[in-house]
Amino acid sequence: MSAPMISLDSLAPASSMDAMLAKATSGGCSSSSCGSSAKPEDMDTAIWEKIKDHPCYSEEAHHYFARMHVAVAPACNIQCNYCNRKYDCANESRPGVVSEKLTPDQARRKVIAVANEVPQLSVLGIAGPGDACYDWRKTKATFEEVSRDIPDIKLCISTNGLALPDHVDELVEMNVDHVTITINMVDPEIGTKIYPWIFYRNRRYTGLEASRILHERQMLGLEMLTARGILTKINSVMIPGVNDEHLLEVNKWVKERGAFLHNVMPLISDPAHGTHFGLTGQRGPKAMELKALQDKLEGGAKLMRHCRQCRADAVGLLGEDRGQEFTLDQIPDEVAYDPAGRETYREVVARERGDHAAAKQAAVNTVKETEAAGSLLVAVATKGGGRINEHFGHAREFQVYEASPKGIVFVGHRKVEQYCMGGFGEDATLDGVIEALEGIDVVLCAKIGDCPSDSLAAAGIRATDAYGFDYIEAAIGALYAAEFGLELLAESA
């Protein structure tokens, strides 16, 4: 199989089309033959136009495009048992203190600075650290200010839904066409185990009444958004023993009300975060428990499986966080938007993703044609661009794909501590990486040494760098065909 050596990640700093194309075509790329559209055949064109550059709403887009969050909305109107207000909103973030809360003008300057430096940027999201709809004045001002300078940036919000119905008309006016609602229950009895109180119409409610109001407002908000053609994503936090099985019911309800995606995220629970669940010993699900629930949900509302539970001030591709490069002290008082980098990047991506789509389709066909009965769980080290382009020891996460007679699908990711620092690997870190790769059959990466490869093998996980820089699905297709009899699997490194 040919292995064109492109990393779109490496294209990012190049500012001209010529420079980006020169990098893209080095190593034997054949991209010029392909069209710019990778639209799935079964998707409506209008919907594809809305999601094709949104890294959360399209799994395919998340290989190419970045989002940034601005932490302009610190106030919240409910209490979730998995949240400590000193930390990011768990609607959209892993627990970790937001570095800086921003005013709308500071947010505007930060977005422009990021857009000038990160050509992958396509979406501006407001995901707290409180609730974007409750802290509405600042959310609205931020969107209005940024849209004036960067009219083509997509606007996206995340909310608990309580205040959402009050702002749907303004969301339409502002052209916000992606809204996430966190819905953890459709049975208020279960809600009492997750929400101790809400604050609604100047009154505090507790117990069953609080959960009933929240539930009704969430359903109303979802129905209003669907009626206006805004794409909705439902986030649900999977809390073992509380709402895990109940999320099957949630999935049915939100599908009936027009949700575009359902994103089931694992509870992150740690006593150090100071949350009710953390302090009372409520555990989060293991990776394979999450996958089992997601597998059960297949066939209902379409699932998002590539969520990274971002911080409320995250910047970059979903698997990375470049927030520390854009703290306020590094941003000038006056900053002007230069669209050249983003425009050029999009042109290069349009060509690259056409090639990627063709390679993916060929690989899926290969897998289906083998008529094998088995499945393979494959963990991939990647820096983006849809390719196997990260060294095993440098990976901070692995993307997980399942190959089976149904095709090749992205089924999740596993976060790990970087194993190799400054040329040396720590055994203890490697043990943690191997633990995180529980259930994985094969690891694909751009490079791996004998030591980690042997340790993985001892744990029953094969690893190879034989497909380095290939498209992910193309490599998995070849691997699957080899596994089930067509060719011998490439030798481990």
Beta strands in 320-458 (DSSP E): 376-380, 397-404, 407-415, 420-421, 424-425, 442-444
108 binds ligand CLF (CB under 6 A): no
Q: Indicate whether 125 belongs to the interface with ligand CLF (CB under 6 A).
A: yes
The one among 31, 158, 243, 382 contacting ligand CLF by CB under 6 A: 158
Edge-to-edge strand order for the sheet containing 397-404?
Answer: 407-415, 397-404, 376-380, 442-444, 462-464
Contacting ligand CLF within 167-226 (CB under 6 A): 178, 180
Helix axes 136-149, 104-117, angle to 10 degrees: 40
Residues in 66-85 that interact with ligand SF4 by CB under 6 A: 76, 78-80, 83
Q: Which of 66, 71, 89, 107 binds ligand SF4 (CB under 6 A)?
A: 89
Minimum distance of ligand CLF from residue 435's CB (angstroms): 23
Residue 221 within binding range of ligand SF4, rule CB under 6 A: no
Least separation, in Å, of the C-beta of 455 and ligand CLF? 30
Through-space distance between the first and last CA atoms of the chain, rounded to whole angstroms: 17
Q: Which residue intervals of 181-228 are DSSP H helices?
A: 188-191, 207-227
Which one of ligand SF4, ligand CLF, none interacts with residue 282, CB within 5 to 8 A by kind? none
Footprint (CB under 6 A) of ligand CLF, residues 137-156? 156
Contact flags string 134-173 toward ligand SF4, x per CB under 6 A: --------------------------x-------------
Q: Which stretch binds ligand CLF (CB under 6 A): 8-16, 41-49, 306-314, 378-386?
A: 306-314
Applying CB under 6 A, which of residues 9, 131, 352, 465 lies at the interface with ligand SF4? 131
131 touches, from ligand CLF, ligand SF4, none (C-beta below 5 to 8 Å by class): ligand SF4
Around Cβ 444, how many Cβ atoms within 10 Å? Answer: 28
HSE (CB half, 13 Å, CA atoms) of 90? 30
Q: Should residue 266 be labelled a site residue for ligand SF4 when binding is judged by CB under 6 A?
A: no
Distance CA 170, CA 242 (A): 35
Find the shortest distance in angstroms from Cβ 453 to ligand CLF.
31
Residue pair 180/156 in contact by the 8 Å Cβ criterion: yes
Q: Which does 130 bind (CB under 5 to 8 A by kind): ligand SF4, ligand CLF, none?
A: ligand SF4
- Asked if residue 307 binds ligand CLF (CB under 6 A), the reply is yes
CB-based contact 351:34 (threshold 8 Å): yes
Would you say 251 or 309 has its CB closer to ligand SF4? 309
Rounded CA gap, 438 and 237, in Å? 22
Residue-by-residue DSSP string for 440-478: -SEEE-SB--HHHHHHHHHTT-EEE-TTTTSBHHHHHHH
360 binds, among ligand CLF, ligand SF4, none (CB under 5 to 8 A by kind): none
Backbone angles phi, psi at 11, to 5 degrees: -80, -20
Binding mask 64-83 for ligand CLF (x = CB under 6 A): ---x-x--------------
Residues within window 219-238 making contact with ligand CLF, judged by CB under 6 A:
233
CA distances from 111 to 35, 116, 136, 236, 474 (A): 31, 9, 19, 28, 36
Site string for ligand SF4, 321-340 (x = CB under 6 A): --------------------
Strands (E) across 3-101 are located at 66-69, 78-79
Footprint of ligand CLF on 390-429 (CB under 6 A): none
The answer to whether residues 386 and 418 touch, using CB atoms and an 8 Å cutoff, is no
> Residue 315: which H helix or E strand, with range?
strand 315-316
Residue closest to ligand SF4 (Cβ): 83
Q: How far apart are CA 431 and CA 459, in angstroms?
A: 10
User: Cα–Cα distances in Å, from 196 out to 162, 188, 192, 209, 284?
Assistant: 14, 12, 6, 10, 19
Binding site for ligand CLF (CB under 6 A): 56, 67, 69, 92, 123, 125, 127, 156, 158, 178, 180, 233, 263, 307-310, 318
The residues of the shown chain that bind ligand SF4, judged by CB under 6 A, are: 76, 78-80, 83, 89-91, 128, 130-131, 160
